[in-house]
Chain A
Amino acid sequence: MDGEHDLVDFAVDYARQKGAAYAEARFERQEPEEFILKNGTLDALYVGADRGIGVRVLAKGGLGFAATNTMTKAEVRTIVDDAVRMAKGAKRETPITFAEEEAVTTEWTVPEQTKLADVTVEDKIAAFREIDRAVKELGFKIPSRYFQLSCNRITKYFANSEGSRIRSYSPRLRTSFFLTVVQGADAEQSHRDYGWSGGWEALRELNVTQRVTDEARSMQRSLLEGKKSPEGKMDLVVGPQVSGIAAHESCGHPTEADRVLGREASQAGKSFIGPDGIGMKVGSEVVNVCDDPTVEHAIAYYATDDEGVRARRRYLYKEGKVNEFLQNRETASAFGTRSNGASRAVNYNVEAIVRMANTFVEPKDHTIEEMIEGVHFGVYMKSFMEWNIDDKRFNAKYAGREAYLIENGEVKHPVRRTVVELTTPTFWSAVDAVGKDLEFEAGFCGKSDPSQALDASLGGPTMRLRNVYLR
């Protein structure tokens, strides 16, 4: 690693010599292993060996970024020359500036009880097969069983021209499944995704086998006993998977400062929240939504971001009002504030931009039973399959996967394809109770060009919404 660190330090120093007002360089090594088990067959095993250096500079008010995976001084010199030349050539009328930050020198690692590197390929495959075997033993008709296990070990060294020097190591495990359960001509499909920062203990901690078999059972029950979901205004109780996706899509994304400023307008879009939107009422007073990179073992855990800023919890919505935007140094400067450590890149070869990490509805003190007991007639939607939201993050849809009718405070038969199609303020304003059963699932968050699909956690507890229109 010393040679690679030397190249990073050299890149920063050389960029300053070439006239960059600010320079940063990031070495990143990623060692992914991906297993795909399709209908019981190990379809493919992908073992990556990825590494390189990305350099970003600020010069004459413009930003330039260049990357290489050829780890020589001459090559690094070439990409620095490229980055500085491009930055100077931007000829912007309004110079880009960065908010001030203190220099950080630190080293952080995510602990692994059982190191991912110490688990053999045979053991990984065997554990994976065990999950598939448990699903098969249920005896349901499941023509498509698709499991993916991804392990990645990410090592970084970051340096900037202000004196920051940061080393980090982040092992991650992600497991996802996609099932198709059939009954006659009818079919239910489900996709779920769980993630962990840490070691091989993830498989035990995430309780994947139990989750997969529970999901298959609920799919079978939906097919056998499911009835049409009622239509009209009624109460809705949503499970952690639904509150998690809503937190990510309609709280996290619209509070990304780069989106608010229009930098993502052509790709992931803008935001219904304007630059002066802090304090805007979006939900009821019981709604607190956070984004927190420091949640232990969540898949998007980090201690410092990819601009070298220390991570901290951000309250995006507090008591139902917009409280804080996610900021990197560029957007923070435009807003006259400080970065809150939200800058991340998916790899060495792309710029770091404003990103969510682990986004969740802050739990409160209700039990699930209490929330359901308070419903005369409604739907308990535990999970979803189809979802989407418009590019200003105002109109969202979540279509139920596992859902049940609630009558007189009791959970009854399954209902199929409950459709929650509401605006962001309508959804969050209807929340009157928030549970204490916080759970996380993993997701890939898409943004930027070139597209950066980044690890994210989506979390929340069970919540109750009053008098919303369902189909």
Chain B
Amino acid sequence: MEDIAAQIVDKAQKLGCQDAVADYVQNRSFQIRFARNEPVISNRWRESYASVFLVHDKRVVATDLKDLTDIDGALERLVKIAKASQRNPEYAGLAKGSFRYAPFRPDPKVLALQGGADFVEAAVNGALAEGAKECAGSFWRYEDEHVLATSNGVEGHDHRAGLYLSIRALVSLESSGHGIACASRLSRFDPEKAGRKAGRVAALAKDPKLGQAGRYTVVFDPLIFGTLTDQVARRLSAYSVVSGFSPFGKKVGKRVASPEVTMWDDGSEESLARKKFDMEGVPTKRHALIQRGILKTYLHNTSTAKRFKTKTTGNAGLIAPDAHAVFVKPGDWSKDEIFSEVKDGLWLTNTWYTRYQSYVKGDLSTIPRDGIFHIRKGEVVETWKDLRLTDNLVRLMKNVVALSDATEQMMWWGEVSLPNFVPYALIKDVNLTRSAE
């Protein structure tokens, strides 16, 4: 790849910028979307751009340069804008390099892929074999290559690639299931398994009855538990905390989840979001977020870390810190033991549209979709529909009773915004509501 990142940083410094970051990216991803069991469109991207962050006299500006034919002119305009802007007294600089990065290369078999029709077919056939009638979803081959340079001596190269398939299987409008397949290596990619999971849940969800509102012990499938852990991680960005978008303000060192819950952020571990460094060039590594229910840290860049009198966690984005990939420590219950523990409760498989009444309190609701099952003595006795989970994020995490002994990588449109490695979870006293008659 061309040395555009270094050129940008050099030019910015010549224009008087104290700090500069340039992340030159080449995106070569492609996708197949499918619906009604057939492909509906294939998409392919050939994009090259530079994400740029400049600081001139504590005045911060950022951009994504898509026109790379006149970099000097673009930077001159950007610095002019920075000079007209205002100082940010909270800006505390960039991490000081240079850094050493662990070597990593993406799977050549993933990079060599030119299509994905077979994966789509395998997923759809898997769902249909389990009893589904209609399938929709998308297959992705992600690939982007980054060259990062900063004014603090960082030079990094990172080639990222992965495979992803999301499938929703339906028997009817109100009988559906969802499956996810994620892998960084072709040999570990199993779209048929995702299709079979979606199809099995859809078939089991046939002829749902109107659900009964109330408080229940609930088995959370990994996909919906991933929605909760994704929310936790997003609310742990220091930026969310200081902006009023988090219930975790002033909670470091305090209990925010049950002792069963240990979770961490790790951009260096294998996942669809694996990366060598954050936007300041800080090497990614494992950071405990919650240890046996106790909040250990927020997610920081250099500026938020200074404000909180701590060190960066290597989670810098272009402007705000954010999680890379979330890992939940598995419990010691088997999946069957978790279901057996439920005397009279629910099994929720997916959700969407999570919204807050109060971010600072954590009061939220979210709407389970796909299979909702009433369980008695560990067995599914009925399929329900039309329920809403109306509760509190911290309360839900504090009410985790058990976690299963294996995790799955979950990421899904809208709700699970980044890879979350999550087990089945058993949560007590969960409030479910429904539309009034």
Contact = CB atoms under 8 A, between A and B. Distances in A.
A42 B168 contact: no
Contacts of B170: 262, 265, 270
B63 to A, nearest CB: 5
A65 B47 contact: no
A78 to B, nearest CB: 7
B399 interface: no
B81 A265 contact: no
Contacts of A62: 39, 42
Contacts of A262: 35-36, 134, 136, 170
Interface residues of B, number: 83
A7 to B, nearest CB: 14
Interface stretch (B144-152, B339-347, B361-369, B418-426): B361-369
Interface stretch (B224-232, B280-288, B352-360): B352-360
Contacts of A388: 353-355, 365-367, 388
B41 A39 contact: no
A416 to B, nearest CB: 10
A63 B64 CA distance: 29
B413 A389 contact: no
Contacts of B31: 449-450
B88 A43 contact: yes
Given A262-B35, A266-B167, A42 B42 contact: no
Interface of B is mostly: strand
B43 interface: yes
Nearest to B45: A67
B100 interface: no
A150 interface: no
A122 B46 CA distance: 36
Contacts of A47: 61-63, 77-78, 81
B41 A41 contact: no
Contact of B358 (A69, A70, A187): A187
A47 B59 CA distance: 13
B413 A449 contact: yes
B81 A121 contact: yes
B435 A423 contact: yes
B85 interface: yes
Contact of A187 (B36, B48, B360, B369): B360
A266 B137 contact: yes
A426 interface: yes
Interface residues of A, number: 90
Contacts of A399: 357, 365
B401 to A, nearest CB: 26
Interface string A395-435: 11101000000000000000001000111001000000000
Contacts of A387: 355
B67 A51 contact: yes
A451 B414 contact: yes
A351 interface: yes
Contacts of A79: 44, 46
B243 A49 contact: no
Given A70-B46, A449-B138, A146 B244 contact: yes
Contacts of B363: 386
> Which of A179, A261, A391 lies at the interface centre, i.e. has the most chain B CB atoms within 10 A of its CB?
A391
B398 to A, nearest CB: 19
Contacts of A52: 47, 66
Nearest to A187: B360
Nearest to B64: A48
Interface string B66-85: 11010000100110011011
B44 A86 contact: yes
A101 interface: no
B388 A391 contact: no
A332 to B, nearest CB: 15
9 contacts: A39-B242, A178-B244, A262-B134, A266-B178, A351-B43, A385-B358, A390-B388, A391-B367, A469-B436
Interface of B: 30-31, 33, 35-36, 38-49, 59-67, 69, 74, 77-78, 81-82, 84-90, 115, 117, 134, 136-138, 166-168, 170, 173-174, 178, 242-245, 319, 352-361, 363-367, 369, 386, 388, 390, 413-414, 433-437
Given A65-B43, A386-B355, A395-B388, 5 more contacts: A43-B60, A48-B63, A189-B358, A262-B35, A391-B369
